[in-house]
Amino acid sequence: MSVPHALLGLLEQRPRHGYDLKRLFDRYFSPDHPLAFAQVYSTLGRLEHRGRVRLDAIERAEGPDRRR
């Protein structure tokens, strides 16, 4: 299964943060070869560019906004 398809499958259940997607991908699809955070975020960026996902910024009281 490709990384984009796996991430889309995980996102179909509910909105998730990139950290959650990486953790779940590693657990279910590739426990012996963990996915790099950079690959998660670059894949999400490509999926957003193609109109497959929408990234939302989450406002926080402190620190930078998180994207979901």
Query: Within a 10 A sphere around the Cβ of 53, how many other Cβ atoms?
Result: 19
> pLDDT value at position 1?
77
- Residue pair 20/11 in contact (Cβ under 8 Å)? The answer is no
Q: Which domains does the chain have, with CATH numbers?
A: 3-67 (1.10.10)
Q: What amino acid is encoded at 50 in this protein?
A: R
pLDDT band at 56 (very low <50, low <70, confident <90, very high): confident
Query: What whole-number distance in Å separates Cα of residue 35 and Cα of residue 58?
Result: 24
CA atoms within 13 A on the CB side of 65: 7
pLDDT band at 68 (very low <50, low <70, confident <90, very high): low
